[in-house]
Amino acid sequence: MSRYWSDIVRRLTPYVPGEQPALAHPVKLNTNENPYPPSPAVVSVIRAELGEHGEALRRYPDPTARALREAVAAHHGLNADQVFAGNGSDEVLAIVFQALLKHDQPILFPDITYSFYPTYARLYDVAYRTIPLDAAFQIRIDDYRQVNGGIIFPNPNAPTGHALPLSDIERLVASNPDSVVVIDEAYVDFGAESAINLIRQYSNLLVVHTTSKSRSLAGMRVGFAFGDAALIDALNRVKDSFNSYPLDRLAQAAAKAAYEDDAWFRDCTAKVVASRERLTARLIALGFEVVPSSANFVFARHQAFDAATLAARLREKEIFVRHFKLPRIDQHLRISVGTDAECDALLDSLKVLMDGHLA
């Protein structure tokens, strides 16, 4: 604390991301990274942009990321003015909170959801009300039918992995014309239905995507928002009042190439989905309850073992999973889907720990 701090700084509760261990070969199942590398085309375009002497790096990137936005728009059958690009979907979401979710009425989001949302709300002084998930950890759309300044949740939800059908999303968007509904689709490519095609029909729908999960580019920081051009305009006005050039040259080139290699994308996501189903079955065989997941992680609890203890013991073996010390979910573990070999390392260690009663 210091007298030089602005008032807002005292009131913040910064988000704490999952640990990035500095180990040679951790089994890292704690931050929902993709176990497969990005498309080989990504490596090629970065090398090309770099050139022999890095000549291009001395020049500012395109502040509008036009080539990237056009490629992503084409991929989704949209126009470039319906696409906003930011420095990771976390930055995109922050700008969404500031540009579209700050109104007189509180915004609504689930009590169990991406824990960055309340942090953004405090940063921008956005009032919010949380809506409890039901006992099965599912979002009940009808609970959101109340006056609000906006609605936001992930689909599939995090950290539960549960997905709503598109018909539920459309029902909500159609019944909520007075404020923006933000669907954070960070995990949509692993088995849920995207609402992206609804943006042409509903001017109050904003869909957020990331390249960090299904495109294997967490290390490059590129995310998007899709919506009516007026919503995208608001995001650009804030972005251009904050940082003209949020995406560097190599990130723009990498993300564009990732969207252009659809075969790689389909192959990697299919492999992750297959590993998720295998992991789920084996966790259940070990006595875990697992929330049915449409994401690249599973959310699981064991009646006989404390989740925090399990996570701590796994960590001693350099196996990292995520535990949230939060109401309702402090007995759950969120486990990212790795390769089958990584999942097996986890399952083997769990079995040893539990057979020895964590000895």
For its own copies, the binding residues in 286-345 under the rule CB under 8 A are none
Task: Determine, following the binding rule CB under 8 A, whether residue 21 of this chain makes contact with its own copies.
Answer: no
299 burial class (0-12, 13-18, 19+ CB within 10 angstroms)? Answer: buried
* Exposure string over 12-34, b if 16+ CB within 10 A, otherwise e: eeeeeebeeeeeeebbbbbbbbb
How many residues bind its own copies (CB under 8 A)? The answer is 91
Report how far residue 211's alpha carbon sits from residue 354's, in angstroms, rounded to the nearest whole number.
36
Of the candidate residues 79, 105, 115, 122, the single one contacting its own copies (CB under 8 A)? 122
Pick the stretch among 28-36, 157-165, 188-196, 275-283 that binds its own copies (CB under 8 A): 28-36
Q: Are 255 and 220 in contact (CB under 8 A)?
A: yes
Widest Cα–Cα separation across the chain: 59
Binders of its own copies among residues 196 to 225 (CB under 8 A) are 203-204, 212, 216-221
Rounded-to-integer distance, Cα 94 and Cα 106, Å: 16
Taking the complex as a whole, how short is the minimal distance between the CB of residue 100 and its own copies, in angstroms?
6
- Which of 142, 233, 289, 348: binder of its own copies (CB under 8 A)? 233
CB 354 within 8 A of CB 286: yes
Site track 34-73 with its own copies (rule: CB under 8 A), x = hit = xxxxx-x-xx--xx--x-xxxxxxxxxxxx----------
Determine if 17 is a binding residue for its own copies (CB under 8 A).
yes
Among 174, 200, 245, 292, binds its own copies (CB under 8 A): 245
Say if residue 156 is preceded by a cis peptide, omega within 30 of 0. Answer: yes
In the list 152, 198, 225, 234, the residue contacting its own copies (rule: CB under 8 A) is 234
Q: Binding its own copies by CB under 8 A: which of 167, 201, 243, 309?
A: 243
Q: In angstroms, rounded to a whole number, what is the distance separating the alpha carbons of residues 133 and 254?
A: 37
User: Shortest Cβ distance from residue 293 to its own copies (Å)?
Assistant: 20
**Segment interacting with its own copies, rule: CB under 8 A, options 75-83, 162-170, 231-239, 348-356:** 231-239
The encoded tokens of residue 189 equal: 């490519």
Rounded Cα gap, residues 298 and 286, in angstroms: 14
C-alpha distance across the termini of the chain, in Å: 42
Q: Which of residues 154-183 bind its own copies (CB under 8 A)?
A: 178-180
9 scored as a contact of its own copies (CB under 8 A): yes
Q: Candidates 7-15, 186-194, 283-291, 334-342 — which segment interacts with its own copies by CB under 8 A?
A: 7-15
Among 154, 159, 161, 246, contact with its own copies (rule: CB under 8 A): 246
**Smallest distance from the beta carbon of 127 to its own copies, in angstroms?**
12
Contact pattern from residue 135 through residue 154 relative to its own copies, giving x for each residue in contact according to CB under 8 A and a dash for the rest: --------------------
Which tokens is 264 given? 């790689």
Four-residue CA torsion sign, 221, 222, 227, 231: positive
Q: Give how far Cα 140 sits from Cα of 132, 147, 196, 292, Å.
A: 9, 16, 21, 16
Binding of its own copies by 271 (CB under 8 A): no
Name residues whose C-beta falls within 8 Å of residue 257's C-beta, 6 or more positions apart in sequence: 39, 41, 42, 44, 45
| In the complex, minimum distance from the CB of residue 290 to its own copies, in angstroms, rounded to a whole number | 24
Among 27, 28, 321, 333, which residue sits at the site for its own copies (rule: CB under 8 A)?
Answer: 28
Query: Of the two residues 102 and 317, which places its CB atom closer to its own copies in the complex?
Result: 102
Q: Is 15 in the site for its own copies (CB under 8 A)?
A: yes
Is 278 a binding residue for its own copies by CB under 8 A? The answer is no
Provide the minimum distance between the beta carbon of 257 and its own copies in the complex, in angstroms, as a whole number.
10
Query: Taking Cα atoms as reference points, which of 140, 136, 93, 131 lies closest to residue 112?
Result: 131
